[in-house]
């Protein structure tokens, strides 16, 4: 056996001491794979992942599992690229499903690389960083499930599905194992951290009224630009701080910097950091028939419109016409740190076209303030990662707020519309598929209402607070006004599934629809107290106190 250079010995000792610093003995002690895997959803699959020679500690098992996930995802991407070769003859809807899978697998490669580089030589993470990694690992599972759902929607030939389902299923199990081991090793000892460098406050004040009025503090130079394009005095204060890196205007008449929103987004710099300020896009009043995507490299964009029903972004893609639910959205957000203010987002496909998304949001640390989301089935796709909505209006029918983000809606209006004959309205369809995911939908101090068309229909359609889209669906309504449109049972099953594993809760709601005496008697349904409700507040559920101040959007951290 060759001798090891002294310098390598020093490095090994250094990494070993770094890895075990401040680690509880029970976690740093080697443990057999059988014992480790019994704490996961897939113990047999888990055991097949690890060598059975020398047992590792919990951290080593997790790192190994994540590295295996990277290899698995890379192979999966190669399979998708094979089927998407120009020489391959596939229907348009199959190509769209495969493109969904390629996008999602690419995001997973990013998330896995970020995670392993973060935890590779440490067992101790501050609260926000620990939550960051749990969020990424949770999103990986969501992305894999979404790929599967897109393939299910497409009428793809058997050979495509058969060749992809097995690696997709194995990859999902591997990701579930990684998340379970990560939670066991890192999450239990998260410590509250200070807001990290690079997340300083950019605006000292921002207030938006329903009339579209806006007050921002920014540099004199940016103030002059913004006032000149908004054609009215919107800015009330002046500051010498540099809060925005640039401001551009979208105006179809050619008087701004760009005539389309997509051109303005394309001009934004790539992969910016929040400490450099927002790239601010002001979209003047008008109806924009565009399909807009804020790509993953377009970070920290703030988009401000002239007001609800003044600046309108609209489209009509839908599942009936051959789009997957995932790519039917009029407006798509992936880039981290996105903020939207004073904009209406629409999908006008109508109820007969079934799934037709207005906004799909898979952007971490994203915020929508004083915006409106209008469609019928599947209006707002809160797909993944951490999101916040404040003083927004959301209109829809079936599952019209759905997805698997960690999301809080605060001071919003949720309007059930009149669905097709024979349909019931579902306010939410939350898609948590693994008990270790830190995801769920929290609805706080909102108004649950009927839109005028439903209100005038004499109660022809039943309306429920939600139904479980996936096995560990999690939704909480708290401190909200629930009008009489809600059926006394409150919640509706998804073909009778998931009643034991879901988590649905209500706390301190008011209004004629808030009476819980006739609610469902499912094992997973709860009427909770303030202590439990606090878990789903902005400060605890999405750690909003660490990132929302930079947006200057108002929020309440607790109950």
What's residue 29's pLDDT?
A: 87
Q: What is the DSSP letter of 5?
A: P
- State the fold for domain 244-394: Pectate Lyase C-like (2.160.20)
397-553 carries CATH number 2.160.20.10: yes
Q: Rounded distance, CA 365 to CA 334, Å?
A: 10
367-390: pLDDT as tens digits: 999 999 999 999 999 999 999 999
Q: Among 508, 458, 510, which residue's Cα sits nearest to residue 481?
A: 510
Q: What is the pLDDT of residue 13?
A: 33
Catalytic residues, which ones?
399
Domain extents for the chain?
33-186, 244-394, 397-553
Q: Which is nearest to 241 in space by CA: 273, 271, 216, 214?
A: 216
Alpha-helical regions (H) of 277-426: none
The pair of three-digit structure tokens given for residue 237, joined into one six-digit string: 């204060």
Judge if 33-186 and 244-394 fold alike in CATH terms.
Answer: no
Residues of the chain with pLDDT under 50: 1-22, 189-219, 221, 225, 228-242
pLDDT number for residue 25: 55
Q: Residue 187's pLDDT is what?
A: 86
Confidence at residue 168, expressed as pLDDT on a 0 to 100 scale: 94
Q: Report the pLDDT value the prediction gives residue 495, as an integer from 0 to 100.
A: 80
pLDDT score at 491: 98
CATH of 33-186, one of 3.30.70.270, 1.20.140.40, 3.30.70.260, 3.40.50.300: 1.20.140.40
237: left (phi over 0), alpha (psi -120 to 50) or beta: beta
Tell whether the torsion through CA atoms of 59, 60, 62 and 63 is positive or negative.
positive
Instruction: Write down the pLDDT at residue 130.
Output: 94
């Amino acid at each position: 056996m060759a001798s090891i250079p002294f310098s390598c010995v020093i490095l090994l000792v250094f990494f070993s001491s770094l890895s075990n610093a401040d680690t509880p003995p029970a976690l740093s002690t080697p443990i057999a794979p059988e014992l480790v895997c019994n704490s996961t959803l897939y113990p047999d699959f888990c055991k097949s992942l690890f060598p059975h020679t020398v047992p590792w500690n919990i951290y080593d098992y997790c790192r190994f599992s994540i590295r295996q996930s990277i290899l698995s995802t890379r192979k999966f991407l190669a399979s998708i690229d094979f089927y998407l070769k120009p020489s391959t003859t596939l229907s348009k809807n199959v190509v769209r499903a495969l493109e969904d899978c390629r996008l999602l697998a690419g995001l997973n490669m990013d998330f896995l690389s970020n995670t392993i580089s973060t935890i590779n030589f440490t067992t101790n993470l501050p609260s926000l960083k620990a939550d960051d990694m749990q969020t990424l690992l949770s999103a990986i599972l969501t992305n894999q499930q979404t790929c599967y759902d897109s393939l299910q929607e497409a009428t793809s030939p058997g050979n495509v599905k058969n060749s992809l389902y097995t690696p997709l299923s194995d990859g999902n199990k591997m990701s579930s194992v990684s998340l379970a081991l990560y939670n066991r090793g890192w999450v239990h000892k998260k410590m509250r951290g200070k807001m990290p460098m690079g997340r300083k406050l950019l605006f000292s004040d921002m207030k938006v009224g329903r009339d579209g009025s806006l007050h921002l503090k920014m540099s004199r130079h940016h103030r002059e630009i913004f006032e000149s394009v908004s054609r009215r005095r919107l800015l009330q204060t002046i500051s010498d701080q540099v809060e925005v890196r640039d401001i551009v205007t979208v105006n179809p008449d050619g008087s701004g910097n760009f005539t389309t929103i997509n051109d303005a987004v394309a001009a934004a710099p790539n992969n910016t950091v929040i400490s450099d300020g927002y790239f601010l896009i002001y979209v003047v009043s008008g109806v924009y028939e565009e399909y807009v995507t804020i790509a993953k490299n377009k970070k920290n964009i703030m988009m401000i419109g002239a007001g609800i029903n003044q600046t309108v972004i609209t489209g009509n893609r839908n599942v009936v016409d051959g789009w997957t639910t995932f790519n039917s959205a009029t407006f798509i957000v992936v880039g981290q740190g996105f903020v939207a203010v004073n904009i209406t987002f629409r999908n006008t496909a109508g109820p007969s076209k079934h799934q037709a998304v207005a906004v799909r949001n898979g952007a971490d640390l994203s915020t929508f303030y004083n915006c409106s989301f209008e469609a019928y089935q599947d209006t707002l796709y809160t797909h993944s990662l951490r999101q916040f909505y404040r003083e927004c209006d959301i209109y829809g029918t079936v599952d019209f707020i759905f997805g698997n983000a960690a999301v809080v809606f605060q001071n919003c209006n949720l309007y059930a519309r009149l669905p097709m004959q024979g349909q019931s309205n579902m306010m939410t369809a939350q898609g948590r598929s693994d008990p270790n995911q830190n995801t769920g939908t929290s609805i706080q101090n909102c108004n649950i209402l009927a839109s005028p068309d439903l209100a005038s229909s004499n109660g022809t359609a039943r309306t429920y607070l939600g139904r479980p889209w996936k096995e560990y669906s999690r939704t909480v309504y708290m401190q909200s006004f629930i009008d009489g449109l809600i059926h006394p049972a409150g919640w509706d099953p998804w073909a009778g599934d998931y009643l034991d594993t879901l988590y649905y809760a209500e706390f301190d709601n008011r209004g004629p629809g808030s009476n819980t005496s006739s609610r469902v008697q499912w094992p997973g349904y709860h009427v909770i107290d303030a202590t439990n409700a606090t878990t789903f507040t902005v400060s605890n559920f999405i750690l909003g106190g660490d990132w929302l101040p930079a947006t200057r959007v108002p929020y309440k951290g607790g109950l």
